[in-house]
Copies of this chain bind each other. A is one copy, B any other.
Amino acid sequence: MITISIENNSQQPIYIQIYEYIKREILSGQLQAPAKLPSTRSLAAHLEVSRTTVETAYEQLVAEGYVEAKEKRGYFVIPITHLQQFHSNTTSTVTVPAPPIPEQARLFDFNPDMIDTEHFPYSIWKSLSKTQINSADNFVAGEHFGDYRLRQAIARYLRGSRGVQCSPEYVVVGAGLDHLLQMLCLVFERRTPVAMEDPGYPSARQVLLANGYDVIDIPLHNYSFDTQALARSDADICYVTPSHQFPLGFVMPVSRRQELLRWADEKAGRYIIEDDHDSEFRYKGRPIPSLHSLDTKNKVIYIGTFSKAVSPAIRTSYMVLPETLFSQYKNLCGGFSCPVPRFIQSLLTDFIDGGYFEKHLNRMRKIYKGKHDFMLQKIKEYFPEERAEISGDHAGLYIIFHYKGALSEQEIAIRAKKAGILLHPLRNYYASLPVDYKPAYLLGFANLNTDMIAQGIRRLSEQVFV
């Protein structure tokens, strides 16, 4: 039995205290694989806390890959070798469902790339813009890697919420993943192929190919990144989405992360590009610490974006370069101008520094969780288990709907069109489709209100996935 001194008056929720304790035990080697954790029932009784509290703690450990849940047998510690120290100081997320928003629904686009534009704090944005729109400073060319004030704000945010320890010096502001990846393409050795997950982000693939790189697709069999396949390949650069795999939606477990870091460490010039595209939105447990926070060898290039948290139309993203790569980058690309207009940079900085960004994130997390939960509930309501399965839930702005019925994808496409529904097949994100591929669809919920979700899922059930 594990004895944890629970502090009831602590600022930390009890489930986090339990989670932190067990994680420390695993990291320090006190708890080793294949140790079995006490059952949730017995630990709850032992600590005199509710069983849900223990379950929440265990689920976070599972999500981060420290522990695995075996059906009907319990929770087991996963073997972890060559462990490095976490230095995450992430904050917990509060989850309250959002009130349903009534609105007339017409065409349903379950677009996974859309965001909610209804709940943006326009009045704050407008009032902040009033001082910046008039400032002559915003009409003078700025720093090439982005304005220092913005880079400071980003570094602070990353330290606080993503466990990314970095100096503002190494933050480079760019115009979206496309742009930053294209800049990185100038720095890497062009003869080196780049590995990426399959399925993965089609734009990233297109940028790499357009820049003359060979792309090695690493298949994600059983929702697991094949580091062996990576090691066998010629790739020295690897592009991954560890905190929320795009598009499959799973979390790369800590053991796999360690393998990836070890792979990078085996050879000079090897780098991992971590695309942390939507880590702001996690609806269960604590945020997953970044891969960057595990990296002690300067091997991870961290890329983040304001596309999901503010707007894709603001075209502002950033990367944190390892010191080793930074001087190379500076030599090659130091003369290029930062593509983000200074007005936008200044406005965004004021938005972050004024605390509005954090407030907005917390609010949107609740709203998105409300929509997410509602969509799951509706799917459960309209689809019997034998007709559909869900994956990639509890994070991001879409879920994956796996169709288990008899219709072919062509038949589904025809029916969806007739029903006025835009579907986004998982198939489109694959470079090579696995032989056992089954029809699956990304269902975005961010841009839909509950009425639309309810109607949309009903239409899916009655007219499409029959």
| A residues with CB within 8 A of B | 113-115, 117-118, 120, 122, 125-126, 129-130, 133-134, 136, 138-142, 175-176, 178-179, 182, 186, 190, 202-203, 206-207, 210-212, 311-316, 332-333, 335-344
Q: Which of A113, A120, A125, A175 has the most CB of B within 10 A?
A: A175
Number of copies: 2
Q: Given A114-B140, A115-B139, A315-B338, output 13 extra A-B contacts at Cβ < 8 Å.
A: A125-B133, A125-B134, A138-B313, A139-B313, A140-B313, A176-B339, A178-B336, A179-B336, A206-B336, A212-B212, A313-B341, A313-B342, A315-B341
A314 to B337, CA, bound (A): 11
Closest to A342 in B: B313
Please name all residues of chain B whose beta carbon is closer than 8 Å to the beta carbon of A337 when the two chains form the complex. 175-176, 178, 203, 312, 315
Closest CB of chain B to A267's CB: distance in Å?
A: 23
A313 to B315, CA, bound (A): 15
Closest to A116 in B: B139
- Whether A315 and B335, one on each chain, are in contact in the complex, defined by CB atoms closer than 8 angstroms, is no
4 smallest beta-carbon distances between A and B, as pairs: A175-B339, A313-B342, A139-B311, A141-B312
- Whether B140 and A210, one on each chain, are in contact in the complex, defined by CB atoms closer than 8 angstroms, is no
Q: Which of A118, A207, A311 has the most CB of B within 10 A?
A: A311
Closest to A185 in B: B211
Closest CB of chain B to A120's CB: distance in Å?
A: 6
Please name all residues of chain B whose beta carbon is closer than 8 Å to the beta carbon of A190 when the two chains form the complex. 212
- Whether A335 and B141, one on each chain, are in contact in the complex, defined by CB atoms closer than 8 angstroms, is no
Please name all residues of chain B whose beta carbon is closer than 8 Å to the beta carbon of A142 when the two chains form the complex. 313
Closest CB of chain B to A317's CB: distance in Å?
A: 10
A190 to B313, CA, bound (A): 31
